[in-house]
């Protein structure tokens, strides 16, 4: 039999605030967990703040490099800096902190004959797309829509893109990697082993959804608030952004079968090359 508390992950809150503020923060945090959780559990028992006597022991128990804890230095890794939360270049916890900026490591070597490319983690997806385009008009890579995405963060996060329904996520197409270990050695997939290679690719979490829709079609819905009438009323609008790996005539057939409500017509379609479609999506 498993107790309810054993299913909870231990939460370590690194708070650089006063004890009074920390107590208030912890209370609000637990209330939020309780409100949005569908299970009744003793959340307080699983949360450790700097005011807990066991805080350092719990923190160090899962830390792989204790030198950073002893020095009080927080490490941030930045690949492309495409980060909504600012986690790759801001730290609200420790001051000072270190940023490892990988943007200068942005070489892209494309081998069209072998259908492969070696890409350094500081390269952006836009640079990757352009280097592929320089070698071929018919090759591509199933990665993100935003060309400013850094390869390092994008791939380790799965790399969702508009061709994922047919070719999988970007991470599903990673065949090998070169990793620098703590001793400064450069290791490849064979050297690190399949477990670590699986881990750096987020466990290879592919996303093959909507099995009854044509695999050549990628479509997403953008939902935004809008005003109506005299601008005192608010409503929700939806717009649809899609990419189809084929001609407009076959797309119309697919849309008629799968999404007849959208009433797609040929004038709504723009036939172009893959690299040009990338440019259109970022305008």
Q: Please tell me which residue, 231 or 206, carries the higher pLDDT value.
A: 231
Residue 250, both tokens = 């076959």
pLDDT tens-digit series, residues 230-274: 677 788 888 888 889 999 999 999 999 999 999 999 999 988 888
Domain limit, last residue, from 156, 190, 208: 208
Mark whether 84 and 160 lie in a shared domain.
yes
* Residues 82 and 179 placed together within one structural domain of the fold: yes
147 or 182, higher pLDDT? 147
242 in the same domain as 111: no
Look at residue 15 and tell me whether its pLDDT is greater than 70.
Answer: no
pLDDT(125) > 80: yes
The domain that contains 189 carries what CATH number? 3.30.465.10
**How large is the average pLDDT for residues 110-119?**
94
Asked if residue 175 and residue 145 are part of one domain, the reply reads yes
Give yes or no for residue 1 having a pLDDT over 90: no
Mind listing the pLDDT tens digit for each residue in 69-83? 566 667 778 888 777
Structural domain range at position 18 = 1-62
Mean pLDDT of the chain: 77
Please check whether residues 27 and 6 belong to one and the same domain: yes
Mean pLDDT of 78-101: 72
Q: According to the model, what pLDDT value does residue 209 have?
A: 53
Residue 106 contacts residue 130 (beta carbons within 8 Å): no
**Are 123 and 160 contained in the same domain?**
yes
Residue 271 and residue 223 in one domain: yes
Verify that 162 and 271 share a domain, yes or no. no
Residues 249 and 90: their CA atoms lie apart, in Å, by: 49
More confident residue, 202 or 10: 202
In the structure, what pLDDT confidence band is assigned to residue 120 with cuts at 50, 70 and 90? very high
Residue-level pLDDT at 4: 34
Residue 239's CB is within 10 A of a number of other CB atoms, namely: 9
Q: Is residue 89 located within the same domain as residue 201? A: yes
Same domain membership, residue 265 and residue 250: yes
Query: Do residues 117 and 191 share a domain?
Result: yes
- Per-residue pLDDT for 144 more than 50? yes
| Residues 104 and 43 occupy one common structural domain | no
On the 0-12 / 13-18 / 19+ scale of CB atoms within 10 A, 58 is middle
What is the percent of the chain with per-residue pLDDT over 70, rounded to a whole number?
69
* Count of structural domains within the chain: 3
Contact 82, 103 (CB under 8 A): no
The predicted model gives 152-170 an average pLDDT of: 86
Examine the fold and report which residue of 180, 208, 236 is the final residue of a domain before the chain moves on. Answer: 208
Boundary (domain end) residue, out of 35, 62, 89 = 62
């Amino acid at each position: 039999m498993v107790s309810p508390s054993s299913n909870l992950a231990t939460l370590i809150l690194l708070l650089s605030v006063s004890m009074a503020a920390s107590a208030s923060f912890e209370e609000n945090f637990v209330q939020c967990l309780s409100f949005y959780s569908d299970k009744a559990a003793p959340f307080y028992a699983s949360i450790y703040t700097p005011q807990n006597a066991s805080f350092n022991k719990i923190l160090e128990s899962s830390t792989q490099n204790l030198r950073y804890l002893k020095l009080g230095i927080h490490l941030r890794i930045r690949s492309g800096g495409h980060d909504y939360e600012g986690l790759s270049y801001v730290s609200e916890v420790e001051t000072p902190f270190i940023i490892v900026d990988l943007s200068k490591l942005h070489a892209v070597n494309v081998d069209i004959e072998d259908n492969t490319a070696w890409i350094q983690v500081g390269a952006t997806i836009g640079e990757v797309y352009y280097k592929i385009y320089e070698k071929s008009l018919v090759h591509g890579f199933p990665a993100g829509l935003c060309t400013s995405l850094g390869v390092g963060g994008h791939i380790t996060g799965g790399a969702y893109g508009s061709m994922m329904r047919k070719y999988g996520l970007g991470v599903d197409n990673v065949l090998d990697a070169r990793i620098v270990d703590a001793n400064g050695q450069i290791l490849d997939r064979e050297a690190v082993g399949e477990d670590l290679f699986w881990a750096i690719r987020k466990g290879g979490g592919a996303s093959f959804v909507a099995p009854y829709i044509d695999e050549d079609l990628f479509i997403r819905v953008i939902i935004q608030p809008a005003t109506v009438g005299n601008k005192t009323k608010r409503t929700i609008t939806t717009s649809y952004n899609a990419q189809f790996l084929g001609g407009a005539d076959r797309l119309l057939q697919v849309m008629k079968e799968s999404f007849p409500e959208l009433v797609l017509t040929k004038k709504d379609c723009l036939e172009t090359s893959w690299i040009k479609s990338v440019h259109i999506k970022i305008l």
